[in-house]
Chains A and B, each alone.
Chain A
């Protein structure tokens, strides 16, 4: 038989291997994440509702989403200016602000952008909530900003040709153009009194969001190239406002560690008695 020392060394070596393997496994689980959602970071103090350049935006993680020319329904467009949008969001438990950012070489009066949300529990098709044939769909809520007015229009749609401004206008927007980049802040209260037409944002819950952008440039004969359904679009992504911090995980961890410590204590006492 080998001396106890040598056996213990072996045990420890294998133990170390197990531990390292567990840590690697745990770590790789933690990083398997993609940028498929916009995370609205919870902050205290004022939201930068009017200021796309406020320093506090750096505390919101940016998420980038690819855009397509709208070739899904008539009238189509085969090429658009905007290829990607970068989205950040903040909330304070009461209001939220979404910063939409994209490259556009020229500032034009007809530049415009929109956020679209599913409303309520029913799924809605990303193309204006157009009817689905085997599934009963719900409406979409569209927040439409245009440079001409530098204001947001709070709109509803349930199918093509049904898009119209709501009676209750709850959304604000402010755009700033600089260095070939548009930055537009959309803002609203997390919840409104009209849940059947407005998206309601509950911290901690994922909801569906989509984007649209119109570059208001004109062609040689002075006509708008991107207008109406001829725009850059995305399909659905996720949006979530961070839930308030929850420290119960630390408490459970402390209890579990204390239990493990107690178990060791009892085990060693038992072993010592047995000797």
Chain B
């Protein structure tokens, strides 16, 4: 393999890593193409510097390039040379066009799903005794008021859910009520979507402000019924 083989493999590997591996690491997101281009440029410059450090490696690195670009009587390779010489400027032009084109994408949405509750809603404990009757009653309220959106199976797929973005929360999912305290649910149910702080994008949420319709005691019962029905338990700080 010539002196150019390894650098090229390295560049391809780097590209594959940035494009396909990195975005799949939990907590990261797809990289914008401009950032990928920047990383590749840095990798490329690093390789050129490394390869040209010593006289021998410099020659080994440049001579195939030189031969390809200037050599004579090379038959098919010469045709390929012209192909590359035409293709490279076109590629540069294409990439430039892509990076200047105005985006057709709507503004990116970054909505905090679990913003901090107001101080008075931290650390409240459920004042309703956890009896089978109370849980039953809570489930009954849930069926009447919550299931149209959050679903009879607590999965967020109620018959009225489809038109709402963000979608009604799926309580069976471990990232919703299972990681929240009862106190937090009490805040969310009482104040609804309109009670969210700005980072929660309150203008989009269909979650009703239940304090205008339901007494606190019912809300505490609903919380009990909700955890029981979704087979989850509230987060506690023991």
Which A residues fall within an 8 A CB radius of B? 2, 4-5, 7-12, 14-15, 17-19, 21-22, 25-26, 29, 33, 36-37, 39, 65-69, 71-74, 76, 78-79, 83, 118, 123-127, 130-135, 137, 204, 206, 232-238, 240, 243, 246, 248-250, 252-261, 264, 267-268, 271-272, 274-275
From A11, A236, A274, contact of B2 by CB (8 A): A11
Chain A residue at minimum C-beta to C-beta distance from B4? A11
A252–B12 touching, CB < 8 Å: no
Which label, helix, strand, loop or mixed, suits the secondary structure of the A interface?
Answer: mixed
From A8, A127, A260, contact of B77 by CB (8 A): A8
Q: Which residues of B are found within 8 Å of A39, using beta-carbon distances?
A: 104
29 contacts between A and B (CB under 8 A): A7-B4, A8-B64, A8-B74, A10-B4, A11-B68, A12-B84, A14-B8, A21-B15, A21-B19, A33-B104, A67-B162, A68-B161, A68-B206, A78-B148, A123-B201, A132-B195, A132-B196, A132-B203, A133-B195, A134-B202, A236-B203, A236-B204, A249-B96, A249-B101, A253-B97, A260-B92, A260-B93, A268-B70, A271-B70
Per-residue CB proximity of B1-45 to A under 8 Å, as 1/0?
110110011011001100100000000000001001000000000
A260–B88 touching, CB < 8 Å: yes
Which label, helix, strand, loop or mixed, suits the secondary structure of the B interface?
Answer: helix
B196–A260 touching, CB < 8 Å: no
Query: In the assembly, what is the distance between CA of A65 and CA of B213, in Å?
Result: 30
Q: Which residues of B are found within 8 Å of A137, using beta-carbon distances?
A: 203
Query: In the assembly, what is the distance between CA of A96 and CA of B225, in Å?
Result: 50
Query: In the assembly, what is the distance between CA of A118 and CA of B201, in Å?
Result: 14
A135–B69 touching, CB < 8 Å: no
Chain A residue at minimum C-beta to C-beta distance from B149? A71
Q: Which residues of B are found within 8 Å of A74, using beta-carbon distances?
A: 213
Q: Are A235 and B204 CB-contacts (below 8 A) given A4-B71, A8-B77?
A: yes
